[in-house]
Each structure stands twice: as C-alpha cells, then as structure tokens.
Chains A and B, each alone.
Chain A
Amino acid sequence: MVAALIRLKKDLTFNGFNRSGWHILGTVFAGLYGLGMVGMVFALQVMEGSADVADPEFVHTASVLMGSAVFLLWLIIPVFISGADAAMNPRQFVTFGIPRRGLILGLALTGLISIGAVLTLIWLIGQVLHWRWDAAAAVTAAITLPLLLITYSLVSQAVTTSISAWLSGRRSRDFLAVLALSLMVLLYPIMVGLQSAFASLADALPAVVNFLALTPLGAGAALPADAAAGHWGSFTLRLGILAATVAVALVVIRAALVKITEQPTVPSSSGSRSAKGLGIFARFPATPWGAVAARASTYWLKDARYGGTLVVLPALVVLAVVMYFQLEAPWVLLALGPIFGFSLGFAISADISYDHSAFALHITSGVSGMADRVGRLVGLLAFGLPATVLAALIPAVMFAEPGTAAALVGASVGMLLSAAGLSCLISARFTYPVPKPGDGPLSQPSGSTGRLMIVQLGMLIATLVLMLPEVILVIIWMVSDAQWLAWVLGIGSVLKGLALVWIGVHLGARVYDRSQPELFQQVSQY
C-alpha cells in the first residue's frame, strides 16, 4: 500500500511535467533558487564545522535557529499550498478503504518526494558536517537525520490533513491564508517587539535559543550540542520532546483521517446571507462599462483572491508605523503612497485571468474592448484613487513641506495611474496563471509558474523604465533643491499617468477586440 502511494506521487509529479514546458521551467527555477539558498547555508555549515575554527556556542546557536526555521517552514508551507497538492489530499482516498496505518505512513513518506525534502536533506547533511569537530555530536546528527526528516514530514502532513478535515470550508481556508499573509508582513514588528524586551539582540539570543531548544521547533537540532557537551540529561529530555512531537502529529493525522473517512462533510449550501437589492450595481451607471465596474467592485469586496491584496495594504501601514517608531525615519511613512499606488495599479494586471471561464459572458454578450478595459479600470480607481491619495497625503502633511507633499501625492497618483495603464494592456495581452475562482489568495496556480515569473519580471522592468522620468526629476530636485521642481514632479507625474492610462486602455481594447476567443481559451485553462 505504501509503495503504491509513493508510486502514485511519483507518477503525478512526472505527469505534471508533461503538461507544459513552462511548468518544468518554473520548477527548475524554484529548485535552483532553493538550491542557491541551501547551498550558501551548506557552505557556511562546512566552514564553521572545521575543527580549528569551531566555536561550540556559535554552532549550537546556529543549529537551533536554523532547525527552528526549517521546522517552521514545514509547518507553514502546507497552509499556503493546501489547494495545490490536491492530488495527494487524503479526501481523495476516502472511497478506497485503505488501512489507516498504511495511509498515514504512505502520506508521510510521499511528503518526502518534493523539492523541499531534498533541500532539507542537504541541510541535514550539512548539519552532520557542521558538528564534525566533535565525534559524539556528529554521530548524533547523523543518526537523528532520518528521524528529523520523518518528523518534519509528519508534522507537515498533520497540518495538511487537519486543514482538509476541519478547515475545508472556503471561508476558513481564506481566513487561514490571509492570517498567514498578515503574519508574514507583521513578522518584522513582532521581532522588534521581542527585541525591545531585551537590551540588545546579542543578549536576547541565548535566551531565545534555550527556549527554542526546549520546544519541538529546535529540540531536534539541539541534540548534537547536548552530545558534545555531555549533557545526557537534557539530551534525553529533548529526545522525549521530539518523540512527543511525532506522537502528537500521528494522533492528529489519525484523528483527521477518522474525521475525513468516517464523517465526510457535505458542503452546505445555506452559507450565504440573502441580499435584498442589487448592491453596487445600483451605484454605477447603467452602461456596459458601468456594469463591468460594478462587477469588479463587487469582486474586490467578495473574492478572497482580490481581498488578499487589500489585506496586505493595512498590514503595510502597521509595518511602516512600527518601523517609523523604531528607526525614527519619516521616509518609511512617506514611502506608503507610492507603494499603495504601485500595488493597487498592478492589482488588475491579471483581471481577465481571475475571471477564468466566466469571461465567456463578456464575449458572448459582445462587450467592446473599450467597455471591458474602462470598466475594470474604474472599478479599481473608485477605491484605489482615494486610498492612494490618503496614504500619500497623511504622512506628507505630517512630515513634509507643501512642495514635497504635492510632489509625493502627485507621484503616488502617477504611480497608480501608470501601473494601472500598463495593467490594462497586460491583462489582455500577457495573461498569466492565477488561483482559480473559489481558491484562496495564496493557493498556487496550476502549472506554468514559468510564464507567471516571466510576465511579472517583464512587468517590473516595464515599470522601472516608465518611472524613469520621475526618478530623473527627483534626482535633479534633490541636487538643485529648487522647490518649483517638486510641483513639476507632482503635476508631471499625474499627467504622465493619465497619458499611460489612455494608451493602455486603447491598446488593451484593441488587443481585446482582436483576440477575444484566444484570450478566452487561454484563461479558461488556468
């Protein structure tokens, strides 16, 4: 049974490659990126582990911190890709009546057939080399290597299976993903808060490391240190912690599987409240573009994939405020306006991809390219423009002179318009894969990660080129210190943004009118 599951995972992985060259390219990129990161760590581990330079305290600290980070990654990543690895979702096996023991073992082992597992294995081998200056420690690291790998896989599987069992509802999954996203953005303020509790980072480190080493996160990675120092008491304690972690993971997986196989839930249909009127549709003009704008606005509020973008922005504000108090540098707050403009402007660069095959309605209704482009743009600007202006204006009024404030607001709005104009063309001409309707904002789009990366890279380069005039103006302004240049920058930026919007909408509309069916066939495959 276990062998069959492993074969299945192997087949699924390789069949995925057959689908498109982009998929292979994306996987190779991701693998190379990971390999580069792990390669650097590995090199450090090898260097620091040489007998003449080894500092037991440093090696201990580094091991525990890295070990905790790796554990955390195995714990968190399943939350992000809960939709992507649907092929090995335990729910799929409900009808086969597989013995539970075999299923648990099989799922845990198939978790090891992944890029992440290979990278972890490299890191674990690095750990053995890291401790090679002490025989007992190196032997411990080598012996615990498979144990740790299995533990990571089991914990990861426990998270996946629990999500599938108890959080399979769309709403809870979206909530989880948004929570994880906010946590990532807020990681810095949290660290700052922790740090301020101690006098300095260096003082805090031993306490943090000792704490982590007594939790499941760092216990495994701290074992060689105990062996090196001969602390066999704490060695046994940590081994116990590790065993308990494995036991808990197994119990959780088992309970989740019982829930999945023995009490399958039927998706309930009575989830939504009933709305009376037509909502936003009543507020936009009764024209094709007005309807598109109303629909887009409705989706900004109701679709978690769009909501994901909106949640990050307030989180960024919190981040900037914390950084401001930390660094006492107003520029972090002044940067908010342009960042809002940039993120919101690009938020519609995949608008048609997000529609997926529902885009058919636009085609069969004969919506003109102009109405489609303008509608989506208005749907964004209706709230994006006020948000960007506020994000730029509030800090500017607090910290800057009128001239600088005008430049900042102008540049932010210009940024929003330029990016939105570019998006109007990109979303019709260069579509890229996005999460499907109904999936969470962070679930991985199926296939062609390569295309996604290339389009986004091209987008970034195009923005940089398009923002060049502003950058040059800012430099001249800084050098010459002439106030009137600030006004030129502000007004010029807005005018340039308007021009780009005009060009983007017209080019986008032309592409849309010419290649509707091709566009539809493409986005309905994502």
Chain B
Amino acid sequence: MHSASVSTPALRLRGLNKRFGQTPAVEDLHLDVPRGSFYGFVGPNGAGKTTTLSMATGLMRPDAGSAEVVGIDVWVQPQEAKGSMGVLADGVMLFDKLTGAQLVTYAGLLRGMDRDTVESRTADLLRVLGLEDARGRLVQDYSAGMTKKIALASAMVHAPELLVLDEPFEAVDPVSARTIRGLLESYVASGGTVILSSHVMDLVQRMCSHVGIIAEGRLLASGTLEEVRNGSDLEARFVELVGLEGGDQELEWLQL
C-alpha cells in the first residue's frame, strides 16, 4: 500500500511534549514500534500512557514533537496517517445507540470502504469475537467485555497496518480477554503491528514481544521484552524502575 520500506517503524514518536497548565504530562518522549511487533506500553496510573497514545492518534495536539505512522506524520498528513491506523481509545464513549452491527458498519463506512466489503468484514469480526447473537442489540446494553470487543471490531474493520489500543483488557472478563488476545495474536502473526497500553504486567509479559515503560511522562526503558526484563521478572523490573509507593509499611489497626 505504502512505499515506505520495511525498516520504517510502524509507529515512531519523536520528542513528544505535552503540558497541562504547569504540570508536564509527557516530556520529550521518543519511541519506536517496529513493524510486526506486539508492543506493550506499561506504566502506573497517570504516567502519561493515554496522553502519549492520544497524541499518536490525533486526539490531542502535542506541544512539540512528531508522531509518524508507517512513515507518515499524523499531524502533517492526518488523513493518510489515520488510514493506516486502527484506534481503540480509553475512556471514550461509543455511539451506543447503534446496534453492534451498525457501529462496526459505521466505522467502516467512515473510512470510505464500500458497502459489500464492510458488510462481509462486519459479519466476520462479529463471528470471531463471539458477538453474532448480540449484533442487533444496542451497544448501550452490552457488558463491559462486549463493549471492548465491539470497539476493537470498529478499530480493525479497515484492516489497518497498526493497531493502537489503550487499555484493551480493562474490565474485560477472562473469556472475552482470551478471545481478544487470540484475535490480536493472529493479527500480529499475519504481519500487523499492535501497541497496547496496560498495567497488568503478567499479561504484557505473556503476550508482547516489545515493552516500553513510562512513568511521570518519561520513557524509562524500551526494547524487546528480553532486553527490558534483563533476566528478571517484568513486574520486578517495573517496580525497580518506577519505585514503590508507601514502602512496605503496615497499618497497625488493620491487624485483625
């Protein structure tokens, strides 16, 4: 589709900066997500994960820096860059007065796809994600897991080269999580690239080939899982980098 060479990263963030008033949210963040990688973006709450991903997907304008999707700058050629990217944003609502099938169809048609392709892909996605029975129900009546799955389907319907998923496993039951995981793994195996944010270390350790650790708006470590882990457990490494809060103090009055 694009003439960018294979060595161009699927997502390249250069010197991203964002302040909210006086508080810096993201500071001089550089990040490369290689093609075909399954990238885990981890960090404590409020570390700047969502802010970073919002700047990469066009939802928030960075104060400085650039974001490139397969070599195309998101802020210079937004239409072209967004065409290669599928996004599942965290904490945003869906058009939940549509039925599941309508929502995925809507996402496909917004991308300018033709009706037949949208129709067959919608059917496929709903089948794979186990939402066939719920295709005619309003999204507002979906459970949390079903909502994440339908949002994921909307993000994938145009077969993007890069999937940016902000907290795809939050509030998702184990069965749905397994379905989502299976779908993402086969997508990566077929050459797609995924970057997902999470704070469940265990999950990232099992799924991802690459990891980036962010805290207080700065990228503390990035690279392949092995490099970042450096021989130890990802969670231990994470705590080592980010630091413990409150130490190991105990509450005396909570000893029953």
Q: State the A residues within 8 Å of B (CB).
A: 269-276, 278-279, 281, 286-288, 290-292, 294-295, 298-299, 302-303, 355-358, 360-368, 371, 437-438, 516-518, 520-521, 524
For the complex formed, measure the closest distance between the CB of A372 and the CB atoms of chain B, giving whole angstroms. Answer: 9
What chain A residues lie within 8 Å of B102 (beta carbons)? 278-279, 281, 298
Residue B57, interface by CB 8 Å: yes
**Judging by beta carbons under 8 Å apart, are A361 and B94 in contact?**
yes
Known: A364-B58, A517-B61, A520-B59. A291 touches B106 (CB 8 A): yes
Q: Specify which chain B residues have a CB less than 8 angstroms from the CB of A367 in the assembled complex.
A: 110
Within 8 A of A (CB), among B67-112: 78-79, 81-83, 85-87, 89, 91-99, 101-102, 105-107, 109-112
Q: Knowing that A281-B109, A357-B93, A361-B106 are A-B contacts, what are 13 other residue pairs whose CB atoms are under 8 Å apart, sorted by A's residue number?
A: A269-B141, A269-B142, A272-B140, A274-B134, A278-B105, A291-B105, A298-B97, A358-B92, A360-B87, A361-B110, A364-B57, A366-B78, A517-B61
* Cross-chain contact B109 with A287 (CB below 8 angstroms): yes
B116 to chain A, nearest CB (A): 9
- Which residues of B approach A to under 8 Å, CB–CB? 57-61, 78-79, 81-83, 85-87, 89, 91-99, 101-102, 105-107, 109-112, 114-115, 118, 134, 136-138, 140-143, 154-155
Whole-angstrom CA separation of A520 from B81 in the bound complex = 18
B107 partner, pick from A294, A299, A361, A520, beta carbons under 8 A: A361
Residue of A357, A365, A367, A517 with highest tally of chain B CB at under 10 A? A365
Chain B positions within 8 Å of A358 at CB level: 92-96
Q: Is the CB of A303 within 8 A of B59?
A: no
Q: Which residues of A contact B99 (CB under 8 A)?
A: 274-275, 279
A364-B85 contact in complex given A269-B141, A286-B118, A290-B109, C-beta closer than 8 Å: yes
Residue of A nearest to B119 (CB): A278
A366 touches B136 (CB 8 A): no
B161 to chain A, nearest CB (A): 14
CB-CB under 8 A from A286, the residues of chain B are 109, 114-115, 118
Q: Could you show 14 A-B contacts with beta carbons less than 8 Å apart?
A: A269-B141, A270-B141, A287-B112, A302-B97, A358-B93, A360-B87, A361-B106, A361-B107, A362-B110, A364-B58, A364-B155, A365-B82, A366-B81, A517-B58
Q: How far is the CB of A34 from chain B (nearest CB, A)?
A: 34
Chain A hits for B89, CB < 8 A: 357, 360, 364
Smallest CB separation, A394 vs chain B (Å): 32
**Cα distance, A358 to B98, chains bound together (Å):** 12
Tell me whether A437 and B109 are in contact in the complex, defined as CB-CB below 8 angstroms, given that A278-B102, A364-B59, A516-B58 are known contacts.
no
A272-B138, A360-B89, A364-B57 given; A303·B97 CB < 8 A: yes
In Å, the complex CA distance between A229 and B57 comes to 76
A286 CA to B57 CA in the complex, in Å? 25
CB of A361 within 8 A of CB of B138, answer: no
List the A residue with the shortest CB-CB distance to B91: A357
Assembly CA distance A355 to B92 (angstroms): 11
List of B residues within 8 angstroms of A273 by Cβ: 136
Please give me the 7 A-B residue pairs with the lowest Cβ-Cβ distance, nearest first.
A366-B82, A291-B109, A286-B115, A274-B136, A364-B87, A357-B92, A275-B136
- Chain B minimum-CB-distance residue to A518: B61
Q: How far is the CB of A291 from chain B (nearest CB, A)?
A: 4
Query: When the two chains form the complex, which single residue of A281, A517, A518 contacts B106, counting CB atoms closer than 8 Å?
Result: A281
Q: Are B95 and A524 in contact (CB under 8 A)?
A: no
CA distance A376 to B140 in the complex (A): 22
- Do the beta carbons of B97 and A363 come within 8 Å of each other? no
Point out the residues of chain A lying under 8 angstroms from B134, CB to CB. 274
Q: Which residues of B contact A299 (CB under 8 A)?
A: 95, 97
Checking A278, A360, A365 against B101 with a beta-carbon cut-off of 8 angstroms, the contacting residue is A278
| In-complex Cβ contact of B110 among A272, A275, A288, A357 (8 A) | A288
Chain B residues near A366 (CB, 8 Å)? 58, 78-79, 81-83, 111
Given that A356-B93, A517-B58, A517-B60 are known contacts, is A438 also in contact with B140, CB under 8 Å in the complex? yes
Nearest residue, chain B, Cβ from A357 = B92
For B79, the chain A residues whose CB sits under 8 A away are: 366, 368
Complex: chain A residue closest to B158, CB-CB: A365
With a cutoff of 8 Å between Cβ atoms, the chain B residues found around residue A516 in the complex are 58, 78
With most chain A CB atoms within 10 A of its CB, the pick from B60, B95, B101 is: B95
Taken together as a complex, chains A and B put the C-alpha atoms of A256 and B81 apart, in Å, by 54
Beyond A272-B141, A281-B105, A287-B109, whether A364 also contacts B82 by CB under 8 A is yes
Residues of A within 8 Å of B115, CB to CB, are 286
Inter-chain CA distance A269–B147, complex, in Å, is 13
Give chain A residues whose Cβ lies under 8 Å from the Cβ of B101.
278
Which of chain B's residues have a CB closer than 8 A to the CB of A364? 57-59, 82, 85-87, 89, 155
**B169 smallest CB distance to A (angstroms):** 19
Whole-angstrom distance from the CB of B131 to the nearest CB of chain A? 12
Closest to B54 in A: A517
> Of all chain A residues, which has the CB nearest B93?
A358
Assembly CA distance A397 to B70 (angstroms): 62
- State whether B137 touches A274 (Cβ < 8 A): yes
Which residues from chain B contact A279 at a C-beta distance below 8 Å?
A: 99, 102
CB-defined contacts of B138 to chain A, threshold 8 Å: 272, 302
| Contacts A362-B110, A517-B59, A521-B60 given; does A272 touch B137 at CB 8 Å | yes
Contacts of A303 in B (CB 8 A): 97
Contacts of B57 in A (CB 8 A): 363-364
Asked whether B136 lies within 8 Å of A276 as measured between CB atoms, the reply is yes
Report how far A356 CA is from B89 CA in the complex, Å. 14
Complex alpha-carbon distance, A288 and B114, angstroms:
10
A365 to B155, CA, bound (A): 9
- Across the interface, B59 reaches (CB within 8 A) one of A291, A360, A371, namely A360
Q: Which of B97, B98, B111 contacts A365 (CB 8 A)?
A: B111
- Residues in A whose Cβ lies below 8 Å from that of B112: 287-288
Closest chain A CB from B48 CB (angstroms): 16
CB contact under 8 A between A292 and B110, given known A360-B89, A366-B83, A437-B93: yes
Q: B106 — which chain A residues lie within 8 A by C-beta?
A: 281, 291, 294-295, 361
